[in-house]
Amino acid sequence: MGLAYAQKGQFPEAVAEAQTGTRLDDSPLWLAFLADVYARAGKRSEAKKVLSDVEQLAKRRYVCAYEIAVAYLSLGEKDRAFEWLERGYADRSECMVLLKVDPRVDRLRPDPRFQELMQRVGIPQ
């Protein structure tokens, strides 16, 4: 629901759903999603705080690099997003298959680095 709300621009509802998710499940995936939603809602400081927490968590356990990349992209930090996408590729993250269809990465599609990454992942263009 949170993703659907965010895609529709209903950020208060998206934030509420993401916060509920983090209360119900301590998965780093939920935290990364919360950072993304905060960023898209214009709550930069909250997004950066949550991202910092997720990055610290990634030092101790597996965290989907793709979702961190999406949050950085929502913050407008395209180069950091690519750093995390490269990490996702190196980790062979299953989330990388979302590159083809995830509207959250649409802003990266014109970038030659994105096209090259899709090719390496094995996603037909």
| 64-88 average pLDDT score | 96
Instruction: State which H helix or E strand residue 91 sits in.
Output: none
What would the pLDDT profile of 2-39 be if each residue is shown by its tens digit? Answer: 889 998 999 999 999 999 999 998 889 899 999 999 99
pTM confidence score: 0.90
CA distance 3 to 90: 26
Could you tell me the residue ranges of all domains in the chain? Answer: 2-121
Q: What is the pLDDT of residue 89?
A: 97
CA 15 from centre of chain? 14
**pLDDT over 80 (residue 125):** no
Number of neighbouring beta carbons within 10 Å of residue 53:
15
Is 2-121 in CATH node 1.10.10?
A: no
Q: What are the percentages of helix, strand and coil residues in the chain, rounded to 5?
A: 75, 0, 25
Q: What is the pLDDT of residue 15?
A: 93
Instruction: State which H helix or E strand residue 122 sits in.
Output: none
Write down the number of H helices and E strands in the chain.
7, 0
